[in-house]
Structure 1
């Protein structure tokens, strides 16, 4: 039996300049690779609608939300986000954020689910940053707490960059526990305070990285006893990533994802996973790195 996943064509429908560093095609590439290899089944695909604007305003500044939707953010604000404004950008943002919310619902029903985008952890209360406009992780966590009466949601963020927006949005929300495992010397330059920040040295390799995870994550789960894990499975820790300074192999990515899935399964904690960051001009190699998450879920949770 395969696992449910969330995907919308708009995830990769965004016209960007030829030299833009964001690999917008990777969502479609991963979707097609998963279907080709049979790890994704079309019948298990759930397509999100656009999220209700009022739900965004429960987490983000209403003026910021309206300004982005209406295209009236300043050029400086858009430069900080890293994308030129367009109606396409609005459309994909609204579907992507709702995708993670829907992913949480599916995970709570089926024990595991994946949104084939997501991980917009640099989005703060009243501004976007680093290709992130609205913080889907926090919005989805709030949704789970409110509609499923959960006491604790744990966000495990394994992107190479600190989840600074997630940290600031959750500092006064005791029901959401934030854990960011990231390179200390990487974007953002000014780090924020998560509930748990685990900083890696540049060049951190597979054995070092997996040892840190295997030592820290069981303690976190025992300490907080979450009823849901939202997992940002960024692959920009890969040794060949364009924006990462870690040295994790493709096999290391698989082992990381298996470790987290096995740990959650052993504790009977549902996992809603998003694919997070990953940057490469080579589309095939990048899709292969993100594919490790799908493969890990398939071997850990579906056999």
Structure 2
């Protein structure tokens, strides 16, 4: 069964002027239900994450400041959000949703978090609309619980997964792989285990060739027993912040390559949705829904 983490708080933690990027978290499940891809039993609402799983990967001093709403002005500005208790709760639910999805993948092969992909949050900072790093927290959880020994994080958001790279830079059990726009945010990159920085304007053919070639090498090299996939759709040509030139079909094919690589090796994969900033919300929702549809066709 396709399992999807969703909670209404994902959609409404912000003042009116900040809500547009959050609309997709409501609209994606609605669209999938409308098309008959999912039903209510496919959706679950995560609880609030137990604090024991935050540190590590985040430093205790950072978490205490975040929890108590004591970030400095500069630290809060770096997140892009006006900090609030509701926003922190949202991040805790997102992280728990990703952990829950990890358990569902053990039975079903794949599971999704409608939100998540908060890959700019580092061990002691929040950045770029990310306060806590959901996939880093979940990866650490799997290692601590003995549920995984070798983890591959495939980050295909248009922005480098700098926080994830920094958190795991000295952890040989987690291999971080990021394909992103080289001249895009974050302008100070961290060092993933493998970074591929793309020039502005890269389209379907070049992009898909890179993904196909690298995935084959990485699975042979790292021999993961668990995969995290960050499936941002800000790689689209229509994206306001992306600078790449993928089509909707190219983005869909990218997702197929990742899921096919995991499925044929029988490796569970947790998916967090990541970014998407096209001016037309329908394009964002359609592109994200394609990720679910591809997984549904391959796994179910």
Shorter-chain TM-score above 0.5: yes
Secondary structure in 1 matching 2:22: coil
Of residues 86, 99, 102, the one that matches 2:100 is 102
Q: Distance in 2 between matches of 1:168 and 1:66?
A: 20
Cα RMSD (Å): 1.3
- For residues 139-197 of structure 1, give each alpha carbon's deviation from its aligned partner in whole angstroms, at most 9, with x where no partner exists: 11111122244210100000000001101100111111100011111001111111111
| Equivalence for 1:255 | 253
Q: Distance in 2 between matches of 1:91 and 1:8?
A: 11
| Equivalence for 2:181 | 183
Of residues 50, 53, 57, the one that matches 1:52 is 50
| Equivalence for 2:3 | 4
Query: Which runs of structure 2 are paired with 1:71-90 in the superposition (5 Å)?
Result: 71-90=69-88
Is the aligned partner of 1:166 residue 2:164?
yes
Q: Distance in 2 between matches of 1:228 and 1:40?
A: 24
CA drift of 1:114 comes to: 0.6
| Equivalence for 2:64 | 66
CA drift of 1:22 comes to: 5.8
Secondary structure in 1 matching 2:227: strand
Does the 8 A contact of 1:254 with 1:295 survive in 2?
Answer: no
TM-score by structure 1 length?
Answer: 0.96
| Equivalence for 2:14 | 15
Q: Distance in 2 between matches of 1:281 and 1:86?
A: 27
Of residues 73, 88, 93, the one that matches 2:91 is 93
Secondary structure in 1 matching 2:253: helix
| Equivalence for 2:263 | 265
Secondary structure in 1 matching 2:239: coil
TM-score by structure 2 length?
Answer: 0.97
Does the 8 A contact of 1:155 with 1:229 survive in 2?
Answer: yes
CA drift of 1:55 comes to: 1.4
Does the 8 A contact of 1:108 with 1:228 survive in 2?
Answer: no
Query: Which runs of structure 2 are paired with 1:222-241 in the superposition (5 Å)?
Result: 222-241=220-239
Does the 8 A contact of 2:238 with 2:279 survive in 1?
Answer: no
Number of matched residues?
Answer: 300
| Equivalence for 2:281 | 283
